Chains A and B, each alone.
Chain A
Amino acid sequence: MIVLDQVQVTFGEGTPLETRAVRGISLSINAGEFVTVIGSNGSGKSTLLNTLSGEVHPQKGTILVGDQDVTRWSSAQRAELIARVFQDPLAGSCENLSIEENMALAWYRGKKTGFSAALNAENRDVFKQQLSRLGLGLENRLKDKMGLLSGGQRQAISLLMSALQPAKILLLDEHTAALDPKTAAFVVDLTCQIIDENKLTALMVTHSMQQALEVGTRTIMLHEGKVVFDVSGEERKDLVVADLLDLFKKNQQGEELSDDSLLLS
């Protein structure tokens, strides 16, 4: 489904600030897999996601989605295949547009748009029906500006938006990081439902090792721009956070993981 082959991303190449964010990642993700990605700050998680979404283009390597080589595609071109929920609730929607207008944007994702009205009875019905499943009463606030909603509500709507068009891949970039624990749990539940219903292939970046093991079917850990371990299936089933730390230590020749935020969350 998704194949990354020797992908390398360097920022500021040839300058004193050169950062090798991704140093040769090769990864093959099957259709329907739900991969959780962990790693400390600067490990290349976000860059990996940005490379998949097309916001960052790799210096070396290729990216295949299905059997299409999308390495040089822009993020607008990839929108047909890839839906995305951002870490910052403000980033994934337009606060000056109404709820229904934001959803209409997602409704036309990857479709050719013309000069007919963006909103009509048909898509408004779908939006209402989708919003009502959140149980937040948002289905009665279609005309409210997105900026009036809380971060959690906005993330929930972003998730619904990602499923309005049949994408193949869903990218989640620490999309619960800015939320309180209760709302985060709600959003994670919704995420799992949507991935399940739409049979999506998903990558979820998370800062929490606990969460990385609780959801999904496969977990990879990045460190300094490389994959340090990759567990799935039977091997992953009974893992606890302590095992992940051991795995990290083993694969890094004894180096201890020293990112507190990764251990504490």
Chain B
Amino acid sequence: MSTIAALGALESGLVFALVAFGVFMTFRILEFPDLTVDGSFPLGAAVSAIMIVSGVNPWLATLAAFVAGMMAGVVTAWMNTKLGILNLLASILTMIALYSINLRIMGKPNVALLGETTVLSPTESWGMAYYYATPLAFSIVVLVVFFFLLKFLNSQAGLAMRATGANARMARSQGINTDRMVILGVAVSNGLVGLSGSLFAQSQGSADITMGVGVIVIGLASVIGGEAIITPKTMLLALVACIVGSIMYRFAIAFALNADFIGLKAQDLNLVTAVLVAFAIVAPKLKANVSAWLARGKNG
């Protein structure tokens, strides 16, 4: 793998670490299987792209992407908590609805950002090639989000949110408004995904209606893969696992597609992803089975 390809993988890994954080919050903290992300990722991209081409400050456009993502999350959580729609179904409904909304926002299937001033424009004056500057800029963003998320998860409200996911009945008996916690958590999760979509569009130079396909699977692959490498004993380790998992995933994909002897092509990406996710889910069990088998071998 060339240096540029490796840095490219690192860059995508960092952007998608934000998706991993979001997926971690819903799937792991709230035990809320949320597929809204497939819609909120392109939503963030669409909102910020259309604002940037209309001449709005790119920072403001990026913030708007975060807020738009949060709103999408609120819709999903509200349908689940207040209307009593099954969480998975509620998120699918929002995801489907967002496809139309994203087309409405952009007015066409894709918006090019080439030559526009984006949040990455200042990195041009850093005096280094873009393939170094962009990953560096993204790692700063990821670290800032990491810091705030960690602080939140260990705060009183964060603990209440974790209890909501772990044992909602107990949480209510401790005076926690669990509905409010679900809404807040799913909102923040999708806000992060929207932010990720916005940054991804700005670094790739365009927002596209199809860019959300499979984002949830990538997020899950990152979370589960990260957990397979780092046991998430504390919130700190769990968040680190998200970042590591996301970067690892990109490298695994880049390796699989670059290794000529395997014979995979770019169109095999989703197949490779699905296999990786399935493997990451089964890996802990396989590990246990293998060690049990080894132990038996020793005794027998």
Contact = CB atoms under 8 A, between A and B. Distances in A.
A70 to B, nearest CB: 13
B7 to A, nearest CB: 36
Interface in B102-125: none
B172 A105 contact: no
Contacts of A53: 173
Contact of A118 (B156, B169, B170, B177): B156
21 contacts: A75-B173, A76-B176, A79-B174, A80-B175, A86-B170, A91-B170, A92-B170, A93-B167, A94-B163, A95-B166, A96-B162, A97-B159, A104-B159, A105-B159, A113-B160, A115-B151, A115-B156, A115-B158, A117-B154, A118-B155, A119-B154
Contacts of B162: 94, 96-97, 101
B176 to A, nearest CB: 6
B147 interface: no
Interface string B51-78: 0000000000000000000000000000
B130 interface: no
A116 B172 CA distance: 21
A105 B165 CA distance: 13
B279 interface: no
Secondary structure of the B side of the interface?
helix
B96 interface: no
A116 B160 CA distance: 12
Contacts of B163: 94, 97, 105
B85 to A, nearest CB: 20
Contacts of B154: 117-119
A116 B155 CA distance: 5
Interface string B218-247: 000000000000000000000000000000
Nearest to B152: A115
Nearest to B28: A96
Interface string A78-121: 01100110100001111111000100111011110111111100
B257 interface: no
* Interface size of A as a range: 20 to 34
B256 interface: no
Contacts of B166: 94-97
B88 interface: no
Contacts of B160: 105, 108, 113
Contacts of A101: 159, 162
A90 to B, nearest CB: 8
Task: Across the A-B interface, give the 4 residue pairs with the lowest CB-CB distance, nearest first.
Answer: A79-B175, A113-B156, A94-B166, A118-B159
A41 interface: no
Contacts of B286: none
Interface residues of B, number: 23
A97 B28 CA distance: 13
A53 B173 CA distance: 8
A156 to B, nearest CB: 16
A30 interface: no
A158 to B, nearest CB: 9
A105 B155 contact: no
A114 B171 contact: no
A105 B158 contact: no
A59 interface: no
B203 interface: no
A115 B157 contact: yes
Given A113-B156, A116-B156, A118-B156, A91 B167 contact: yes
A164 to B, nearest CB: 10
B189 interface: no
Contacts of A261: none
B158 A118 contact: yes
Nearest to A93: B170
B190 interface: no
Nearest to B178: A76
B167 A94 contact: yes
A132 interface: no
A74 to B, nearest CB: 7
Nearest to A90: B167
A91 B169 contact: yes
Given A76-B177, A76-B178, A97-B162, A108 B156 contact: yes
A45 B51 CA distance: 61
Interface in A242-261: none
Given A84-B173, A91-B169, 14 more contacts: A79-B174, A91-B170, A95-B167, A97-B162, A97-B166, A104-B159, A105-B163, A106-B174, A108-B156, A108-B160, A109-B175, A111-B175, A114-B157, A118-B156
A116 B151 CA distance: 8
